[in-house]
């Protein structure tokens, strides 16, 4: 954005007088805006609707089989569930810092935060691999009852969304590395960020339902 005089008009003298700056103070986002892009929010509300329906299935199944669901969390690995949560939360924090760094025109810092987000995000499918193996060793397969079936149904759906997010993260890292985003135009990065945070939110709901609530 070119510099503007106090009345909002473009001011060429100010533009030429302004020294080249590699970092800028991060300006807070304006109120009443759409974080990211409209298209991404359409996708997020589709995701939210999809999971709302699956949560409805969970609640109905729980109402019909309260004893099975009360005993369910004991059959799963709480360590794995907590591990997913910490990985996703830390990855989400890195993404939030990446967006903030981009707003401050610190592209290199933004890329480093995104790399951190990717590493922690990758922790999710890695833990999933070990957890599924552990589950199968303990007889928790698709015929292990309504609780386990609901658990697989919801968590594998969430895993798919995490995969989409990781692919998106690779894309925004490439865009950041090639200088495609700036403090003035980073809507692609922010769109990815809102998707990743929405996926975080879904997990923060899944985690207590299957690993904690008895």
Partner 1 sequence: MSETRKLDLAWIALVLLSVGGAALGGGPDADMGVTVLIALVMGIKVRIVCDHYLELPTATRRIRQAMYAFCYGMPILVILTTAFGNTLAQMTGALI
User: Residue numbers of the site for partner 1 (CB under 8 A)?
Assistant: 26, 28-35, 41, 45, 48, 52, 55, 59-64, 66, 70, 73, 78, 81-82, 85-86, 89-90, 92-93, 95-97, 100, 193-194, 197-198, 200-201, 204-205, 207-209, 211-214
Q: Residue 80 or 132: which CB sits closer to partner 1?
A: 80
CB-wise, 73 or 121, nearer to partner 1? 73
Q: How far apart are CA 198 and CA 201, in angstroms?
A: 5
Residue 56 or 170 with smaller CB distance to partner 1:
56
DSSP of 126-168, one letter per residue?
HHHHHHHHHHHHTT-STTS-HHHHHHHHHHHHHHHHHHHHHHH
Nearer to partner 1, 96 or 132 (CB): 96
85 HSE (CA, 13 A, CB side): 15
> Please, which residue, 58 or 181, has the CB nearer to partner 1?
58
Compute the least distance from the CB of residue 8 to partner 1, in Å.
Answer: 21
Tokens for 16, please give them. Answer: 């030429």
Whether 170 contacts 13, CB under 8 Å: no
The least distance separating partner 1 from the CB of residue 193, rounded to whole angstroms, comes to 8
* 36 DSSP assignment: S
d(CA 197, CA 199): 5
- Token pair, residue 139, equals 């007889």
């Amino acid at each position: 954005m070119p510099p503007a005089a106090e009345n909002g008009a473009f001011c060429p003298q100010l533009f030429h007088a302004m020294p080249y700056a590699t970092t800028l103070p991060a300006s807070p986002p304006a109120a009443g805006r759409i974080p990211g892009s409209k298209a991404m929010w359409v996708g997020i509300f589709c995701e939210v609707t999809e999971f709302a329906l699956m949560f409805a299935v969970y609640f109905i199944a729980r109402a019909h089989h309260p004893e099975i669901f009360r005993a369910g969390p004991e059959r799963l690995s709480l360590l794995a569930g907590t591990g997913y949560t910490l990985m996703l939360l830390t990855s989400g924090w890195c993404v939030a810092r990446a967006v903030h760094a981009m707003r401050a025109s610190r592209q290199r810092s933004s890329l480093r935060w995104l790399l951190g987000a990717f590493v922690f995000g990758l922790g999710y499918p890695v833990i999933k691999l070990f957890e599924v193996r552990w589950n199968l060793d303990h007889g928790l397969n698709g015929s292990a009852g309504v609780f386990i079936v609901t658990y697989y149904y919801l968590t594998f759906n969430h895993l798919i969304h995490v995969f989409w997010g990781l692919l998106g993260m690779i894309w925004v890292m490439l865009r950041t590395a090639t200088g495609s985003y700036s403090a003035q135009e980073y809507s692609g990065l922010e769109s990815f960020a809102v998707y990743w945070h929405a996926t975080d939110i879904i997990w923060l709901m899944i985690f207590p339902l299957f690993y904690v609530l008895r």
